Structure 1
Amino acid sequence: MTPVQTSPRPTGQDTPLKRADARRNHERIFAAALEIFEEFGLQGTVPQVAERADVGKATVYRSYPAKEDLVDAVVRHRLAELDRVTEPALAEADPARAFEAYVRLLFETLAGDRLLSEVLAEGRSAYAGPLLDRLLGLMAQAKAAGLVRADVTLLDLRVVLCGMTLQLLALAERDPALWRRYGDMTLRALRP
């Protein structure tokens, strides 16, 4: 029986270079995915991401075995950014100002990110749940202070907030000033 030929083991110099190259590819893929999904939302494709990252589709699939894995990573990143952007609103002592600031910042963020607005408008529970819980908590504090209608429920908040988001998406409106306007309308709809 003939012995099986194996490739020589990589030298110590080859392995770090390959790892560095793989890291760079991963970073380029993720940066490209942020751009593609921000621009095209869930309609963005792995081939678009690969092209923008200047890598092959197989390279993308090595890091993210399915498109859903890539979407998940991008959404989690964008939600973490949203948390950083809205942190000052959450720290606000005045319940009305906290709720209003949060809603306005949310609309401003959604105006510039098609993927995040689509995911939240669709109410995907893994992503929308924690955000809606945060909004519900802020709204409850504002309601207790008499600054939000006493009869407003989570369903009302979802219909108004997600309904406006869905319509702005359907109309392909991306102007942040327009999104802020509808954020203000949402707040006015909830006031006593």
Structure 2
Amino acid sequence: MSPALSHEADPAGADWADRRADARRNHERIVAAAVEVFAERGLEATVPEVAARAGVGKATVYRSYPTKADLVEAVARHRITWLIERVDAAARQPDAFEALRSLLIDIAERLASDRFLVEVLPHDQRWNGQTRSTEQFAGLVAAAVEQGRLRPDATLQDIRVLVGGYSRVLLDLGIRDPAQWRRYAALALDALRT
């Protein structure tokens, strides 16, 4: 089951606060269903699949999200919000290397069960652009280098390439076992150790 959704996680959330209670419930069911269906099927998921999982008709989904792209954006925002919050928590830890290790393990576990995140993450500007969260993530890598735990030339780009590489391969192989994903997250980080 997906984590609770907030209005922050849904671009249309604020607009729904003033709607009828049944319309709000339908909207929440649609977003929760979309998160689940896209996690299972990735971008191949369809609006009819989301509608069926939510227990509503396609027209109800299209009233909230006129196109599949709008629905994809709502799910992407939800997923990226989780990642940003997790990076923020890691950046506050005093041991940068252990915080980075924990962060990468958490990301691997999420990716193991979320095909959508694997497919969308490399292209999302909230994650890849010049944002506060990417600066925090880069700062975490730099702090681990400064603490002597990562090789001096290690960068956030290195982490992205390594995580993106194992994610794509494991996804293509159909491996969903979180233990396997955690193993490759640890190997990726070990490749950058001093």
> 1:151 aligns to what?
153
> 1:125 aligns to what?
125
Point out the structure with max Rg over C-alpha.
Answer: 1
- The root-mean-square deviation of aligned C-alpha atoms, in Å, is 2.0
Per-residue deviation, 1:155 = 3.2
Distance 2:54 2:60 in 1: 10
Alignment map for 1:14-25 (pairs within 5 Å): 19-25=20-26
> 2:97 aligns to what?
96
Percent sequence identity over aligned pairs: 51
Per-residue deviation, 1:87 = 5.4
**One-letter amino acid matched to 1:175:** D
The answer as to whether partners of 2:38 and 2:116 remain within 8 angstroms in 1 is: yes
Of 171, 179, 182, which aligns to 1:180? 182
Per-residue deviation, 1:132 = 4.5
> 2:59 aligns to what?
58
> 2:12 aligns to what?
none
**How many pairs does the alignment contain?**
174
| TM-score normalized with structure 2 length | 0.81
Distance 2:126 2:86 in 1: 20
**One-letter amino acid matched to 1:142:** A
**Alignment gaps of 5+ in structure 1:** 1-17
The answer as to whether partners of 2:42 and 2:119 remain within 8 angstroms in 1 is: yes
Q: Rate the CA distance shift 1:124–1:49 in 2: closer, same or farther, 3 A.
A: same
| TM-score normalized with structure 1 length | 0.81
Distance 2:120 2:149 in 1: 29
Distance 1:73 1:88 in 2: 23
Per-residue deviation, 1:188 = 0.4
Of 157, 164, 167, which aligns to 1:165? 167
**Alignment gaps of 5+ in structure 2:** 1-18
| CA deviation map 1:43-68 (0-9, x unaligned) | 11111101111212111011011111
Alignment map for 1:38-53 (pairs within 5 Å): 38-53=39-54
Distance 1:133 1:163 in 2: 22
Structure 1 consecutive aligned stretches of length 4 or more whose deviation exceeds 6 Å? none
Q: Rate the CA distance shift 1:124–1:105 in 2: closer, same or farther, 3 A.
A: same
Task: Say whether residues 1:26 and 2:22 are aligned partners.
Answer: no
Distance 2:26 2:163 in 1: 37
The answer as to whether partners of 1:34 and 1:74 remain within 8 angstroms in 2 is: yes
